[in-house]
């Protein structure tokens, strides 16, 4: 398997988009992509479990990242015999995670320059996320990013279409797509449907280089000179 190229500068990102585009749409995940939110998300789950007498190891969230909140709570209930209704657990966690993210997370270094480069070729920018719409909308607005996206699709907790299906629908309706993701599952699906894929590397995902056409290095200082 060919090793995916690693992109660690704005210049390299613009060059990659120019070489592989133009695109009709660019689909962005939110958690782990627009912002490196997964560690904070995991921390709140861990704290809530600890308060209920459940201790988990440091890797407990690795196979849960990228899933919807209901899927995560259903899995945790099965694994740890956790009591409580998923809807109520979801609302409690949303109330906790919002202020924590506000204090501790910033957008990834590639979001604004990548969006700007894509807008130059009239690419529509979509967010398709398994995350909660309350959190996604709040942080896009707080980070000054809401206006750069043409559409945001996230979960409400009631009758949600699974992310896999929402992503599939978006990709089959276009001739040229880019998908920016931190999940190997969704990168694999995007590739199967003919999209160009950019994986995002961070501390809580697997070998995205094995599934993506190229990899964005996630851990760069946002304020450094990335030229």
Whether 181 and 151 map to the same domain: the answer is yes
**Of 72, 104, 136, which residue constitutes the final position of a domain?**
104
pLDDT at 207: 67
The model's confidence at residue 157, banded by pLDDT at 50, 70 and 90, is confident
Mean pLDDT of 206-214: 78
Domain presence at residue 196: yes
Domain presence at residue 58: yes
The model's confidence at residue 1, banded by pLDDT at 50, 70 and 90, is very low
Whether 130 and 84 map to the same domain: the answer is no
The model's confidence at residue 220, banded by pLDDT at 50, 70 and 90, is low
What is the extent of the structural domain holding 205? Answer: 5-37+107-217
Domain presence at residue 73: yes
Whether 143 and 77 map to the same domain: the answer is no
pLDDT at 58: 77
Domain presence at residue 147: yes
Mean pLDDT of 145-150: 95
pLDDT at 92 over 50: yes
Burial class (CB in 10 A: 0-12, 13-18, 19+), 177: buried
Please tell me which residue, 70 or 183, carries the higher pLDDT value: 183
Domain presence at residue 186: yes
Whether 168 and 142 map to the same domain: the answer is yes
pLDDT at 134: 84
Whether 85 and 196 map to the same domain: the answer is no
pLDDT at 28 over 80: yes
Domain presence at residue 197: yes
Number of domains in the chain: 2
CA distance 216 to 97: 25
**Please, what is the average pLDDT of the chain?**
86
CA torsion angle 17 20 22 28 (round to 10) = -60
Whether 129 and 213 map to the same domain: the answer is yes
Whether 60 and 84 map to the same domain: the answer is yes
Mean pLDDT of 103-118: 90
Whether 154 and 207 map to the same domain: the answer is yes
pLDDT at 98 over 60: yes
CA distance 93 to 160: 18
pLDDT at 222 over 60: no
Pairing between β-strand 25-28 and β-strand 151-155 as defined by DSSP bridges: unpaired
* Model confidence, pTM: 0.80
pLDDT at 109 over 60: yes
């Amino acid at each position: 398997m060919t090793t995916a190229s690693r992109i660690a500068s704005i210049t390299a990102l613009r060059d990659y988009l120019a070489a592989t585009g133009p695109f009709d749409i660019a689909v962005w995940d939110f958690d782990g992509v627009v912002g490196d939110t997964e560690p904070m998300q995991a921390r709140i789950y861990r704290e809530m479990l600890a308060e209920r007498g459940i201790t988990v190891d440091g890797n407990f969230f690795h196979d849960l990242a990228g899933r919807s909140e209901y899927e995560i709570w259903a899995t945790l209930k099965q694994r740890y015999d956790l009591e409580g209704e998923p809807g109520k657990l979801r609302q409690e966690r949303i109330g906790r995670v919002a202020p924590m993210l506000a204090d501790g997370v910033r957008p990834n270094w590639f979001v604004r320059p990548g969006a700007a480069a894509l807008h130059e070729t009239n690419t529509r920018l979509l967010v398709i996320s398994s995350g909660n719409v309350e959190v996604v909308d709040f942080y896009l607005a707080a980070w000054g990013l809401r206006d750069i996206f043409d559409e945001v699709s996230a979960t409400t907790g009631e009758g949600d279409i699974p992310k896999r299906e929402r992503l599939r629908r978006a990709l089959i309706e276009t001739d040229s797509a880019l998908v920016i993701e931190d999940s190997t599952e969704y990168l694999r699906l995007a590739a199967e449907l003919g999209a160009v894929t950019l994986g995002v590397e961070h501390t809580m995902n697997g070998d995205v280089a094995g599934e993506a056409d190229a990899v964005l290095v996630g851990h760069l200082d946002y304020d450094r000179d990335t030229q």
